[in-house]
Amino acid sequence: MKKTWLLVAILAVFVLSMAAAFTAERTASAAAVVSGGTAANAKSETDSSGKGQTTMWELIKASGAIGGVIIVLSFVGLALVIENFVTLRRDKLLPQYFVAEVEDLFENEQYEEALQLCESEDNLLSRIVSSGLAKVDKGYEAMEESMTETAEQSALVLHQKLSYLTLIYSVAPMLGLLGTVVGMVISFSMLAAKGGVANAADLAGGISMALVTTVEGLVVAIPLMGFYHYFRNKVMRLDLETGAIAGDLMRRFKPSQKAAS
């Protein structure tokens, strides 16, 4: 239930971000009409030129090369989100059937069979348990050290994959800010070239770039930030659960427990 609500919240943020982009588009369209004069003049210009409103494609073109980079990052981020949804599944990283089989083999003290099963599977638990069983002849401390090292390496690999999402949602708004600054520089350069007297059409290009790149950066960053935290929490839960299961399985090799029995 908690996962469902979290996904709903992330999707809601994404929808709100897209709504903000749509609002920006409509606002730009309204501004274009106002800058053209009265509503009647705007209609006349529309009839003569065939252009009524600023389209999304025109807004994207207005963002220039910086906006193009942000759009490319958005596709990369989307691909990473889909890839993480596919790979960070519990039935892939910690399948229930595997947990049941390993626990059953340990209960029957069939450790060789358990090692063979772990070596034939590739998931979080199999890697940790196999690394521990491989050191069984060197004592519990060596087993525990090997399992801890394997668990840390597995967690590092998963978190490194998520770090690319962090990179994108951090860079996207910074690129948007860069586009804002570049757009304002273009506008003020045009104003200076006109001797301080420039109309709205002269400044529209730079201002459009400034605003659109800002919106693009935020639209990319906000959903990716939500997805990153969702995936990170999922990885942390799976790591903790895997560690608890592996620790419970290997606890029987503790010398103190053997002595007590």
pLDDT of 223: 92
Per-residue pLDDT tens, the chain, 261 aa: give them. 444 444 444 544 444 444 444 444 444 444 444 344 434 443 444 444 444 455 666 666 766 788 888 889 999 999 999 999 988 888 888 888 988 998 898 888 888 888 888 888 888 888 998 888 888 888 888 888 888 898 888 888 888 888 899 999 999 999 988 888 888 777 777 767 777 666 666 666 677 777 888 888 899 999 999 999 999 999 999 988 888 888 888 887 777 644 444
Q: How far is CA 199 from CA 24, 190, 191, 224, in A?
A: 22, 10, 9, 39
Angle between helices 124-133 and 200-250 (to 10 degrees): 40
Q: Is 10 domain-assigned?
A: no
Q: How far is CA 84 from CA 128, 184, 228, 237, 239, in A?
A: 22, 38, 10, 15, 16
Q: Is 25 domain-assigned?
A: no
Q: Is 219 domain-assigned?
A: yes
pLDDT of 232: 92
Q: Is 17 domain-assigned?
A: no
Tell me which residue of 96, 127, 123, 87 sits closest to 234, measured CA to CA.
87
Split into its structural domains, the chain has a count of 1
Decide if 124 contacts 101 (C-beta within 8 A): no
Q: Is 201 domain-assigned?
A: yes
Q: First and final CA of the chain: distance in angstroms?
A: 42
Write the single-letter amino acid at 260.
Answer: A
Q: Is 51 domain-assigned?
A: no
Kindly tell me the burial class for residue 48, based on how many C-beta atoms sit within 10 Å of its own C-beta (0-12, 13-18, 19 or more). Answer: exposed
pLDDT of 168: 93
Q: Is 45 domain-assigned?
A: no
Angle between helices 200-250 and 2-35 (to 10 degrees): 170
- Domain extent at residue 192: 65-254
* Tokens standing for residue 145: 């050290």
CA 114/CA 110 separation, integer angstroms: 6
Q: Is 56 domain-assigned?
A: no
